[in-house]
Every structure is written in structure tokens, then in C-alpha cells.
Amino acid sequence: MTDATTTARVDAWLWAVRVYKTRSAATTACRAGHVRVNGERAKAAQPVRPGDELRVRIQGFDRILVVKKTIAKRVGAALVAEALDDRTPPPPPRESMPFVPVRDRGAGRPTKRDRRDIEKLRGRDLD
């Protein structure tokens, strides 16, 4: 096989395996530093090969993907499963996630006491 068939651009591969909805969104994520290939920050045109590990930050969480097969065009879900190995750990249960207080819409600006109570709940108490 030639080198062209064993590699693919990282942004095209992420789009092809449906991590990002558009290729431009994948390119933007690479520029922002949300994509790492084998631990190194990746540019959009960086080639990926089978066996490479990608860490992709989406909505505050990292997805860990291992390239099994390089593809450059969008394919069906069955072929996507053959092209990657998802090693992302399961998300923590909702019970262990901290509660984020929400103020009623139109409640106005919080008072000093409200602000201190909110910061206590968030664990940012300075006292």
C-alpha cells in the first residue's frame, strides 16, 4: 500500500467518523487545541495512521479514540464502528455531579448575601 491510503487528515477523519458534524467544525477544534494525537496538539492537516490515539475535547469532556482504519469520506455507522475504537471512560453518575444553583429568570441582580451563598455552594468560599 502507498502512504496516501494509510493516512488521512485528522480533521477529515474526525468528520468521517461522525465526531463532528462538519469538517469545518473539526478544523476549528484542531485550531483551538481541542484535538491531540498521541498526546501532542494536532493541526488540522496532521496525518493520522492506524494505531494513533486521539483525545478530543467535546463539551468539557475528553473522548479517547484509537484509529483502526483511516477513512476520509463520510460513511455509514457500521463502517464507523470498524474505523475506530472508543476507549472513553463512562461519564460519572449524575448523583456525583455537583448541584449548580439556578436563579429564577427576572429575579434581578443577586444581593451580597445571595452571592456569598452561591459561592459557598460552588465551593469558592474564601473565609
pLDDT (tens digit, 9 = 90+) per residue, 65-90?
999 999 989 988 899 999 999 999 98
How confident is the model over 86-109, as pLDDT tens digits?
999 988 787 777 777 677 888 888
Q: Which of 50-59, 88-97, 105-114 has the lowest mean pLDDT?
A: 88-97
Tell me what the pLDDT averaged over the chain comes to.
87
Taken in order 82, 55, 57, 86, the sign of the CA dihedral is positive
Which H or E element spans position 37? strand 35-37
Specify the pLDDT at position 119: 86
86 burial level (CB within 10 Å; 0-12, 13-18, 19+): exposed
Specify the pLDDT at position 6: 85
SS3 of residue 54 by DSSP: strand
pLDDT above 90: residue 26: yes
Mean pLDDT of 41-67: 93
pTM over 0.85, yes/no: no
Q: Which domains does the chain have, with CATH numbers?
A: 1-91 (3.10.290.10)
